[in-house]
Chains A and B, each alone.
Chain A
Amino acid sequence: MSHDPGVSARSKKEMRKEMLPAVYEALNPRGAMPVVNVTPSAPGLSDLKDKVVYVINIGKPYAEGLLGAIADLMSARFPGANVLHVMKKTAYYNDEPELWNEVKQRADAVIIGPKD
C-alpha cells in the first residue's frame, strides 16, 4: 500500500480490492462410483439341521487355527448339520471360481474369512 500522499484514496481502495483473495471454482477430482444394483442379503436360516455349512478360509494359512476351531465348534453345536471346513487353494487375492461354484451348488450357509 502506497504511503505517497499523492496517491488518491480511490486508488488506495482499488488497490485494496486487488489484494482481496481470489475465489476459485474448484472442479471435483473424484471418479464416479457406478450405479450398483443392490441385492438384499439372503434371509437367515431358522435351523441348521440337515444344512450344509461351509467354513471358508479365503487363502490365509495363518488363520487356519481360528477357522478350524470355528468349524469344530459349529459341528459340536449343530450335530445335525454338515460343516465343511475349506481353505482356498490359491492366495487370498486370486479368484477361485470352481470353489464358488461348489459353494453355490452345495452350501446352505457360509462363514468366510478373515478380512484382515
Chain B
Amino acid sequence: MGIPTVAIVTAPFVKAAQNVAEGIEGMAVRNVVVEHPVTQTGAVATEKAQGIIDGLVAALSATPVDGKEWPVVDVTKKSPRIAVRGTLNEVQDTFQKACWTDGLPVMPPTEESLEEMLTGTRHKPDEVIGFMPLQLWPATVEKVAINGIMAGCRPGHLPVLLAGIEAYTKEKDFLSSLASASSFAFVHVVNGPIAQEIGMNSGMNALGPGNVSNASIGRAFRLCVINLGGVTPGMNDMSSQGNPAKYSLAFAENEAASPPGWQPYHVEMAHAPDESVITVFHAWGYRSCPVRLGTPGELKVLVKEIESLWAADELGILVLVDPSPARTLRTVGMTTKEHFREWLYKEARQTIEYWKGTPVWQYRVKPEVLDGIWPREYLELPPDATIPMFSNSKQIRIVVLGGGTGNGVTVWNTSYSPSSASIDKWR
C-alpha cells in the first residue's frame, strides 16, 4: 500500500513472520519483537508497551540505506528436479535435513517409480490441482505422486491423493489451522467403491496401524502439506504441542456394516452411492466412550464427552460409530443417522455463562449471533440457562467405522467445514 508499516511479532513467531513477508508482494518487513504472550492488561501492558515503543517509532521512521531503497529480498527459489543422488541412507539424510519428511524414513521417489505411480491417473503430470495451503504453491499431479511414493503409496492410491489435495485447496479456512498455535490435524474419510478396490480398512483397528492403504494415504497427505504447502514446524506451523494424528489419519467408512437406514456420509452429502468421494475434516482432539446397550446412562456419558470437547465453538464434531453400537442405537429409536444427529443436537448443551466465556466469543461466536447463526434472544438469557452446544445440527457429522466387535463411539472435535472432492474424477 506504500504506507510504512511495522508489525508487532512475539519472539517464537519471528521466523513465521519473515516467512510470510518473503511470500507476499509488498509486505513490510519491519518487525518489532516482543516477549510472548501479549495477553497483559493495565499497568503490565503499559510497561510492555514502553519496552517496545522506541523500536516501533524507529521502524516507522527508518531512512533509506546509502541512498538505496529499503533492502529488497529476492524470494525466487529454484527447485531442481533431482534432489539427491545417493544411497538409501544418503537420500534419507538429505530429505530429513531439508525437513521434507515427517521424521520417518521415506521411499526414494525415482523417475521409474514416478512413471509407475502416474499410471494411477489419466491426468497429465503437470496439471495443477490447486494451490496448496499454507504457502499456496501450485500442487501438480506429478508432485502429489512423488509425495505419495515417499509415503509408500501405490498407483491405485493416486486418485484418492489427488482428490484429497483438491479438497485441501478448496477450503480456505484450512490455511489458518495449518499455521495455528493450536494442535490441529486432519481426518481423511473415503466413501464409495474405491475403498474396497484399494483395500482400505473400515473395520477392525481402522484408526490404528497395519493397513497399507490407510497408513500410506494418510501419511501422503501430511507429506503434501509439508512439501507442497511449504509447512515447517517452528517456521510457519506454530502448533505448540503438535498432534499425533498429523502422522496419518485416513480410513474408509464401513458402509457394508452400517445398519439399515444409516446412509453413508457421502450419500448424506448428496453424492451417489456408487460414487467414490474423499472428505477432509479439520480435527483437534477426541474422546472415546462405550455405547453397548444404548441405556440412558450410557448415552448420558456420550453426551458429557461431547460437551467436554469444546465442540460448538470449533464448529462441530465428527462422530465415529462402531457398527455394533450403531445397531444398538437403532433399537432405541435412532433408525437413521439424522435421528441420532437430532438427538445429540438436543441433548448436548452448554450454559450461557460457558457460551459467553469461550475464548472465541469476541471474534467468532458474537459475530455469529449478529449474523443470525445463533438466535439473538440467547443474549438475554441468564448465565445459568442452557442452550444447545451447536448452532445447528448439521455441525454433527456421523460416520460408521469399526469392526463391530466393540462398543466404541469416538468423537473428534472439528473446526470449520469439511471439504469433499470426487475421487472418480481423478482416476
A interface residue numbers (CB < 8 A to B): 21-46, 48, 53, 59-70, 72-74, 77, 88-93, 100, 103-104, 107-116
Whether the Cβ atoms of A31 and B10 lie closer than 8 Å is: no
Residues from chain A with a CB closer than 8 A to the CB of B241 are none
* Given A38-B25, A65-B41, A70-B56; A114-B91 close (CB under 8 Å): no
Whether the Cβ atoms of B8 and A114 lie closer than 8 Å is: yes
Bound-complex Cα distance A46 to B110 (A): 57
Residues from chain B with a CB closer than 8 A to the CB of A62 are 37-39, 359
Query: Who on chain B is nearest to A40 by CB?
Result: B69
Query: Who on chain A is nearest to B361 by CB?
Result: A61
16 contacts between A and B (CB under 8 A): A23-B85, A24-B87, A24-B88, A26-B109, A29-B223, A31-B79, A33-B76, A33-B79, A38-B72, A42-B1, A43-B70, A53-B60, A74-B56, A93-B176, A115-B7, A116-B181
Nearest Cβ in chain B — how far from A36, in angstroms?
A: 5
Interface assignment of B34: CB less than 8 Å from any CB of chain A: yes
Contact of B75 among A38, A45, A64, A116 (CB under 8 A): A38
Contact with A along B11-52 (1 / 0, CB 8 A): 011001100101111101111001011111110111011101
Residues from chain B with a CB closer than 8 A to the CB of A24 are 84-88, 91, 108, 110
Residues from chain A with a CB closer than 8 A to the CB of B26 are 38-39
Bound-complex Cα distance A93 to B52 (A): 25
Contact of A43 among B50, B64, B94, B175 (CB under 8 A): B64
Whether the Cβ atoms of A115 and B42 lie closer than 8 Å is: no
Residues from chain A with a CB closer than 8 A to the CB of B367 are 89-91
Bound-complex Cα distance A29 to B16 (A): 22
Nearest Cβ in chain B — how far from A111, in angstroms?
A: 6
Whether the Cβ atoms of A27 and B230 lie closer than 8 Å is: no
Residues from chain A with a CB closer than 8 A to the CB of B2 are 42
Bound-complex Cα distance A34 to B3 (A): 25
Give the contact stretch, choosing among B137-145, B153-161, B255-263, B418-426: B137-145
Interface assignment of B100: CB less than 8 Å from any CB of chain A: yes
Which of A24, A34, A113, A114: most chain B Cβ within 10 A? A24
Bound-complex Cα distance A44 to B140 (A): 41
Whether the Cβ atoms of A36 and B75 lie closer than 8 Å is: yes
Whether the Cβ atoms of A114 and B34 lie closer than 8 Å is: yes
Contact of B23 among A25, A36, A53, A74 (CB under 8 A): A36
Bound-complex Cα distance A8 to B394 (A): 75
The number of chain B residues touching the other chain, given as a range, is 35 or more
Which of B13, B72, B139, B363: most chain A Cβ within 10 A? B363
* Given A28-B79, A29-B109, A41-B28; A114-B143 close (CB under 8 Å): no
Whether the Cβ atoms of B108 and A30 lie closer than 8 Å is: no
Whether the Cβ atoms of A30 and B42 lie closer than 8 Å is: no
Nearest Cβ in chain A — how far from B237, in angstroms?
A: 14
Contact of B100 among A30, A36, A61, A104 (CB under 8 A): A30
Bound-complex Cα distance A22 to B31 (A): 48
Nearest Cβ in chain B — how far from A68, in angstroms?
A: 7
Bound-complex Cα distance A76 to B111 (A): 65
Whether the Cβ atoms of A65 and B45 lie closer than 8 Å is: yes
Known: A27-B83, A42-B1, A62-B39. 9 other contacts (CB 8 A): A21-B87, A34-B138, A40-B70, A42-B3, A44-B62, A44-B63, A65-B41, A104-B3, A115-B20
Contact of A111 among B20, B56, B140, B175 (CB under 8 A): B56
Whether the Cβ atoms of A26 and B82 lie closer than 8 Å is: yes
Residues from chain B with a CB closer than 8 A to the CB of A73 are 46, 49-50, 53
Nearest Cβ in chain A — how far from B390, in angstroms?
A: 19
Bound-complex Cα distance A40 to B24 (A): 12
Contact of A77 among B23, B53, B62, B109 (CB under 8 A): B53
Residues from chain A with a CB closer than 8 A to the CB of B69 are 40-41, 43
Nearest Cβ in chain B — how far from A56, in angstroms?
A: 9
Interface assignment of B228: CB less than 8 Å from any CB of chain A: yes
Whether the Cβ atoms of A93 and B10 lie closer than 8 Å is: no
Contact of B143 among A21, A29, A64, A89 (CB under 8 A): A29
Bound-complex Cα distance A70 to B6 (A): 13
Query: Who on chain B is nearest to A68 by CB?
Result: B45
Whether the Cβ atoms of B38 and A32 lie closer than 8 Å is: no
Contact with A along B248-267 (1 / 0, CB 8 A): 00000000000000000000
Interface assignment of B80: CB less than 8 Å from any CB of chain A: yes
Bound-complex Cα distance A109 to B262 (A): 58
Whether the Cβ atoms of B49 and A69 lie closer than 8 Å is: yes
Bound-complex Cα distance A68 to B41 (A): 9
Bound-complex Cα distance A110 to B3 (A): 7
Residues from chain A with a CB closer than 8 A to the CB of B124 are none
Bound-complex Cα distance A25 to B146 (A): 13
Residues from chain B with a CB closer than 8 A to the CB of A77 are 53, 57
